[in-house]
Amino acid sequence: MDKKHIKFMKEAIRQAKISLRQGGIPIGSILVKDGKIIGRGYNKRVQKKSAILHAEMDCLENAGRLKAKDYRKCAIYSTLSPCDMCTGAILLYKIPTIVIGENETFKGPENYSKKRGAQIINLNMKECKEMMRDFIKEKPGLWNEDIGK
Amino acid sequence: MDKKHIKFMKEAIRQAKISLRQGGIPIGSILVKDGKIIGRGYNKRVQKKSAILHAEMDCLENAGRLKAKDYRKCAIYSTLSPCDMCTGAILLYKIPTIVIGENETFKGPENYSKKRGAQIINLNMKECKEMMRDFIKEKPGLWNEDIGK
């Protein structure tokens, strides 16, 4: 596995853990352009009573208003496979590369993303799976709410 | 055309016009449950320097954290066909009905929404088209940024 991806995913995991410490859902995301982190975010459903601030959305929001050509040079990292909403945001801005920590806890529309031209790299990291397993065990209702279940 | 849909779309248009008066992008949205408006929103790219607050996203955010079973009873109204991101949010929460003002200015992934089980009702309203035509004529760059172009 590419060491660069692991390094960036570690930062996404760090974001997820910030959320966890705040009583939130432990999913983190970062946006990388030309090898540099230009956005960081984590799920803020609890913290901001938000229905839309999944980690990837929060990350894109924190990266600010970018030009279309800049998004095309980005990779977005998420500790968990992006849901329909986050996938949609990634497709809107045509971010070509999606690196995920795992997709066993939850799997978004990955085939659709690929069909629409995105590359998905699954790092299949134990740390990401365990983080979600422990969280869901403790707060299953909150998790279901987050994925519209 | 169902009079109820026109009535609710008028409120979405009112939201779009609030945005326009603030120097923003004139797209508005409302969320309706059991015949009552439970969320309102408009595009806040300019107002909040936001990359994610399209009208539908702002509307869902303003409606707050709802239960899955409540989203299933909703219709979302938007003055313009929802983009990939907003469509994704609608699919995440399984909102069954999407009522749009028009889809000539911009057409989101409507076939995909239908394949995923949503109903789309296009009111094809002249007022919505003219609002966007005038706006895009005046600020083409801002419009392109909003759709990732």
pLDDT of residue B1: 60
* pLDDT for residue A2: 82
pTM: 0.98
Q: Are A86 and A59 in contact (CB under 8 A)?
A: no
Percent of chain A with pLDDT over 70: 99
pLDDT of B55-92, one tens digit each? 999 999 999 999 999 999 999 999 999 999 999 999 99
- Per-residue pLDDT, averaged over A35-63, amounts to 98
Residues of A in contact with B88 (CB under 8 A): 83-89, 91
Cβ-Cβ contacts under 8 Å, A145 against chain B = 65, 67-68
Nearest CA of chain B to the CA of A68: how many Å?
5
* Planar angle of CA A66, A70, A76, nearest 5 degrees: 90
Q: Out of B11, B56, B127, B145, which one is annotated catalytic?
A: B56
Q: What is the pLDDT of residue B2?
A: 82
Question: What's the Cα-to-Cα distance from B122 to each of A66, B37, B98, B102, rounded to whole Å?
Answer: 31, 19, 8, 6
Q: For A98-112, how does the pLDDT look when each residue is reduced to its tens digit (9 = 90+)?
A: 999 999 999 999 999
> What whole-number percentage of chain B has pLDDT above 90?
99
CA–CA dist B83, B106 (Å, integer):
8
In 3-state terms chain A splits into helix, strand, coil percentages (rounded to 5) of 45, 15, 40
Whether the complex's predicted ipTM surpasses the cut of 0.90: yes
Mean local confidence (pLDDT), A14-24: 98
**End-to-end C-alpha distance for chain A, whole angstroms:** 33
Q: Can you tell me the mean pLDDT for B133-148? A: 97
Task: At B87, list the tokens.
Answer: 């469509």
Our CA-based measurement puts residue B2 at a distance from the nearest CA of chain A, in whole angstroms, of 29
